[in-house]
Structure 1
Amino acid sequence: MLSTLLPALRTPELRRKILCTLGLLGLYRLGATLPSPGVDYPAIRTCLHIVSGGDAAGIYQLIDLFSGGAMLQLSVFAIGIMPYISAGIITQLLTVVIPRFEQLRKEGNAGQATLTQYTRYLALTLAVLQASALVALAAHGQLLRGCPAQILADTSLFGMVVTVAVLTAGAALVMWIGELITERGIGNGMSLLILAGIAARIPSQGTAILDSRGVGVFAGVCVAMFAMLVGVIFVEQGQRRIPVQYAKRVVGRKLYGNSSTYLPLKVNQAGVIPVIFASSLLYVPTLLARLGPRGSSTWQELIQKYLAAPGNPVYVTIYFALILFFTYFYVATTFDPAERAEEMKRFGGFIPGYRPGKPTAKYLGAVLNRITLPGAVYLGVVAVLPNLAPQLGAGGPAQGLAFGGTSVLIVVSVGLDTVKQIQAQQMNRNYAGFLR
C-alpha cells in the first residue's frame, strides 16, 4: 500500500484528490461528534458509560458501527449513510421489477443520472423515517435501555420536529459528502464514509477490551483479527476466470478481435451488501417492538428475546439464513448470464467448447451458482463470528464489534478497491506520458 501511496502523493493531481478525500472525511467525523439541538449530550455520555454498549447497542450495533458511534449519541450525522445505501439497494433491485427502471439502466449515463436522482429522493424519505424512529425511541427511553436519565432535553412536539429536521439534514449532507468524494476524490465515497466510521471506533473499543480483560486477551484478539484479515484478503481476491475468445472481424478498414481474454467471476460477487441488507431487515421488528405500546405483550417479548439479542442462537440462525438468501438474490439481480452471453455474442466473443447464446448463458449460470455458495457461506460465517465468540469485554460482543468479521470485511474490501483506483490512475498518467 505504501508503494502505491508514496508515488501518488508526488503527483500533484493525485495528491490534490487524496487531500480532498481526507478533508471531507474529517468534516464527516466532525459532524458525527456535534450534538443535535434538543439533545442532552452530557446525559447521553453518562448513559453510554452506564450501559457500556451492551444492551444500548444490541440489534443496533452494526448500524451504530457504520455511523462511527454517532447514532447512539444522536449527533448531527446520527443517521449516517445507511438511508442512501438502503435506497441504492432498493433502486437496484427494482430495476428487475419495474420496466421503466430497467430501461433507464440501459440508457447509459443519462439514465443512470435519473436513477441516482430517484435514489436521493428515496434516501431522504428513509432518512425522515429513521430520524423519527430514533427521536421517538429516545423520547420513550427505549434508545439506551437501562439509562436512568432523559436524553432529550426538549420533549415537546416542536422540539422533536426540530431534532428530526436536523437529523434529516445531516443525512442529506452526508449523502452529498459521499458523492463529492466519489466525484472529486479517490475511491467510492459511501464506502469510505463507512470505513471512517469503523476506524473511529477501533481505538475506543480496543482500549475497552484492554482495560477490562487485560493484555493477554487483547493480544489474542489482535492475533485473531490479523488471521481473519489474511483470510478475508485471500477470499476477496479469489475469482474464477472463464476464458473468452474473440473472433476476427473487420469494421471499416480496421481489424478487431482475434484475441483471448477471460471473464472474472469473484467468489464474493455480492460484497458486503447482503450483510447490510440482512442487518437492516432484522432491525425492523425490534424497532417496531420498541415503538409499540408500553407494557409486556407476547410478540414484544418474543422479539426482544430472540431477535434483539445478537448472541441468541435463533438470532444467529436467522441472520445467517438471511445472508445466504440475499447473497443469491443480489447476485441474481446484478449479474444476468443471458445478458452477458448476448453481449459476448454481439462483439464476436465465445467461450471455448460452448456455442454462443443460450448454451453460453447456461454455462455462466451454472458456474455462478457454484461459486456463489462458498461466497455466501463465507459472508455468513464472517458476519456471525463475533456473535459466536466469547464475550470480549464488560459490554459483550458489541464492545468488540470494530474487531469483528464484518468490520474486517468492509475495511479490506474498501481498502483494496481504493488502492486499485489509485493504481489505475497512476497507470493512466504513465501511459499518457509515454504517448507524448
Structure 2
Amino acid sequence: MASAAEQLAANLNLRAFRKATELHKRIGFTVLAMVIYRTGTYIPIPGINLAAFSNLFSGQTQGILGMFNMFSGGAVERMAVFALNVMPYISASIIVQLLGTVYPPWEKLRKEGGEVGRKALNQYTRHLTVALALLQSFGIAVGLQASPGLVNEPGIFFLVSTVVTLTGGALFLMWLGEQVTARGVGNGVSLIIFAGIVAVLPRGVWQMLSMVRTGALPAAAMFMIGALAVGVILVIVFMERSQRQLLVQYPSRQQSFRILGGDTSFLPLKLNTSGVMAPIFASSLLLLPATALGFLATANLPDQLKWLPSIAGQLQHGRPAFMLLYGALIVFFCFFYTSVVFNPAETAENLRKHGGFLPGIRPGKFTAEYLDFVLTRVTVLGAIYITLVCLLPEALIAFYSAPFYLGGTSILIVVSVTMDTVTQIQSHLLAHQYEGLIKKSKLHNRRGAPPPG
C-alpha cells in the first residue's frame, strides 16, 4: 500500500501548482537570476581588442579554452565580465573541503560545529574565493597583455581594471548562486553552469550540421553521436535514480499495556552519491592550470620557457594526457565527495541511538564497518559509471573533431541538474499539499467535525 507521501506525490497536478504561490516566487527569482547571469556574459571587459581576441580564440575552440567557454556560456570567447564564471568558488570549495578532512580545527568545525561550524567554513570559502579570483584574473590580465594586439592600451590601468572586473564578476556570481539556493529552486552554482551549457548547445548542434553539410563530418558519425547522446541520457537517468537499500529494523517496545511490533525501514545509498559535483570539481581543477598555460603559450616567452606550449598542447581537449587526468580526478572526487556527505560512523551511531539495527550486524562499530564496506562497493560502480559517461562520448567527438557541446560531461550536468531541480519543485508542491491538509484538519477540529479521512 502506498504511503501518504506517495499518494500526495501522485496527485500533484497543475491545479496544485497554481495554488503554490511561494513556489511561483521561487521560480520567478531563479529565472530572473539566470537572465542577469546571461546578460553579464555579453558585457566585455574594458580595454580588450575583441576582434583580435576572437581571431585568437577561434583557433582554440576545440581545446581547453573551448571547454571553459562552454561552462561559462560563451563568456570566455567574448572576454566578458563573467569569464571566470563560478570556477574560483568551486575551487575554493574543493580546498576547504579537503582541508576539512586533514586540518584539525576545520575538521572539528565540520564534524562538531553544527550550523555555526558550517557558516564558518562557508565564510572561509568566500575569503578563499576572493584570493583565487584575484590570482586568476591577474594571470589572465598578464597573459592578455603579453599577447601582441589583444589589448588596446597595455599598462597598469589595464591590469588593474581587468583584475577588478573579472574578480567582481566572479564574486557577484558566487553571491547570485547562494541567493538562488536560498530563495529559488535548485542549487544556484549548478544552475549557473547548467544555464551556460544550455545556452551554447544550439550552436554546437548547428556547427555539427554545418560540418555534415560541408563534408567535414560523415553523416553516419553525426547519427552515431546523436544516438550516443540519447543513450547517455537514458543511462544517466537510470543510474542517478539507482539506490542500494539496506533494511533497518526497530525492535518491539511496550507502551502502557500494549506491545507495539517492531517497525522496518530502508537506508538508501545512492549509486552516485557525489552527483554532478565530481566532474565539475575535476573540470575546475584541470581548467585552471591548462588555461594559464594556454595564455602563456601565445606570449613571447624566453628560451627557458619554450617548453610551455608543448605541455599546454598535451592538456588540450581530447588528448590522452587530458583524458587520463580528467578520468583520474573524476574517480578521486567521487570517493572524496562521498566521504564528505556520508559518514558511516555517524550514521551507525544515529541508528543505535534510535534503536535501529541492520539484520545480522551488531550495532556500533560493526555497523559502521559494514556501511563503509557497502558504500565503497557502491561508489566504485558510481565512479566507473561517471568516468565512462564523461570520457567515452568525449573520445568519440574528439576523434571526429566535432563540437563537444554534446559531450558526456555537459549532458551529465544538464540531466542531473534538471532532475535535481524538478525534484525540489515536487518537494515544494508536496509541502504545500501537506500545509493544506493541516489547515483543513485544524478547521474541522475547531468546528467539532472529524478531520478529513
Query: What TM-score bracket applies, with the shorter chain setting the length?
Result: 0.7 to 0.9
Within 5 Å, give how 1:349-428 maps onto structure 2: 349-391=356-398, 396-397=401-402, 400-428=403-431
* Inter-partner Cα distance in structure 1 for 2:286 and 2:47: 29
Residue 144 (structure 1) aligns with: none
CA separation of 1:221 and 1:43: change in aligned 2, threshold 3 A: same
Tell me the residue number matched to 1:62: 67
**TM-score, L = length of structure 1:** 0.87
Separation in 1, partners of 2:18, 2:50? 39
Q: What displacement does 1:248 show?
A: 5.0
1:286-306 C-alpha deviation (Å, 9 max, x unpaired): 356454844475752552343
Partners of 1:125 and 1:195 lie apart in 2 by 25
Write the distance in 2 (CA, Å) between the matches of 1:94 and 1:298. Answer: 35
Q: Partner amino acid for 1:227?
A: G
- Equivalent residue for 2:287? 283
Instruction: Report if the CA contact (8 A) 2:176-2:188 is conserved.
Output: yes
- The one-letter code of the counterpart of 2:379 is T
**CA 1:230 to 1:351, structure 2 compared with 1: closer, same or farther past 3 Å?**
same
Distance 2:135 2:254 in 1: 57
2:39 aligned with 1:27:
no
In structure 2, C-alpha distance between the alignment counterparts of 1:95 and 1:250, rounded to whole Å: 43
Counterpart for residue 131 of structure 1: 137
Q: Which amino acid aligns with 1:370?
A: R
Unmatched 5+ stretches in structure 2? 1-10, 440-453
The question of 1:8 aligning with 2:13 is answered no
**Alignment of structure 1 residues 7-406 onto 2, 5 Å:** 7-9=16-18, 11-48=20-57, 50-51=58-59, 53-54=61-62, 58-105=63-110, 106-141=112-147, 150-214=149-213, 216=219, 218-247=222-251, 258-287=262-291, 289-290=293-294, 291=296, 293-295=301-303, 297=305, 299-300=307-308, 302-306=310-314, 308-391=315-398, 396-397=401-402, 400-406=403-409
CA distance in 2: counterparts of 1:31 and 1:9, whole angstroms: 32
Amino acid across the alignment from 1:369: T
Judge conservation of contact 1:179–1:190 (CA < 8 Å) in 2: yes
Q: Contact 2:12/2:430 (CA < 8 Å) preserved in 1? A: no
Q: TM-score, normalised by structure 2?
A: 0.84
Shift of 1:227: 1.5
AA partner of residue 95 (structure 1): G
- 1:145 paired residue number: none
Change (3 A) 1:432 1:411: same
1:333/1:411 CA distance change after superposition, 3 Å? same
Q: CA deviation at 1:256?
A: 10
Q: Tell me the CA shift for residue 23 of structure 1.
A: 0.8
Provide the secondary structure at the position in 2 that maps to 1:310. coil
Q: Distance in 2 between matches of 1:80 and 1:264?
A: 34
Change (3 A) 1:178 1:251: farther
Measured after TM superposition, the shift of residue 383 of structure 1 is 1.7
SS in 1 for 2:265: strand
Identity %: 39
SS in 2 for 1:131: helix
Deviation by residue 1:81-112 (Cα, 9 ceiling, x = unmatched):
11111212222222212232233233322222
Q: Are the counterparts in 1 of residues 140 and 292 from structure 2 also a CA contact under 8 Å?
A: no
Letter in 2 for 1:283: L
Distance in 2 (alpha carbons) for counterparts of 1:131 and 1:5 = 47
The CA RMSD measured in Å over matched residues stands at 2.8
Distance 1:296 1:5 in 2: 67
Identify if the C-alpha distance between structure 1 residues 168 and 32 changes in structure 2 by more than 3 Å, giving closer, same or farther: same
Task: Mark the CA change 1:256 to 1:289 in structure 2 (over 3 Å): closer, same or farther.
Answer: farther
State the distance in 1 between where 2:196 and 2:274 align: 22
Q: Is the 8 A contact 1:246 1:349 kept in 2?
A: yes
Q: Deviations over 1:358-405 (max 9, x none)?
A: 110111111111111111111111222243114587xx35xx222010
Q: Which moved more, 1:408-417 or 1:3-12?
A: 3-12
Tell me the secondary structure at the aligned position of residue 269 of structure 1: coil
Matches of 1:176 and 1:5, distance apart in 2: 33
Question: Deviation of residue 406 (structure 1)?
Answer: 0.6
Structure-2 change in CA distance of 1:373 and 1:203 (3 Å): same
- Write the letter of the residue equivalent to 2:123: Q
Kept in 2: contact 1:8–1:422 (CA 8 A): no
Pairwise CA distance, 1:329: 2.8
> For 1:126, what is the secondary structure of its paired residue?
helix
CA-CA distance at 1:219 after TM superposition: 4.6
Output the CA distance in 1 between the equivalents of 2:261 and 2:78: 58
Q: Distance in 1 between matches of 2:260 and 2:69?
A: 52
User: Do the aligned partners of residues 239 and 172 (structure 1) sit closer, same or farther apart at CA in structure 2, a change above 3 Å counting?
Assistant: same
Task: Structure 1: state its 5+ residue gaps.
Answer: 142-148
* Matched residue, 2:442: none
CA distance in structure 2 between the aligned counterparts of 1:31 and 1:363, rounded to whole angstroms: 49
Counterpart amino acid of residue 154 in structure 1: E
* Counterpart for residue 5 of structure 2: none
SS in 1 for 2:80: coil
Answer yes or no: is the 8 Å Cα contact 2:397–2:407 preserved in 1.
Answer: no
- Alignment-mate amino acid for residue 78 of structure 1: A
Compare 287-296 and 207-216 and name the one that shifted more. Answer: 287-296
Structure of larger gyration radius: 2
Alpha-carbon displacement from aligned partner over 1:260-317 (angstroms, at most 9, x marks no partner): 21111111112232323333333354356454844475752552343x2332223322
Displacement of 1:36 in angstroms is 1.0
Q: Structure 2: which amino acid aligns with 1:153?
A: N
CA offset at residue 71 of structure 1? 2.3
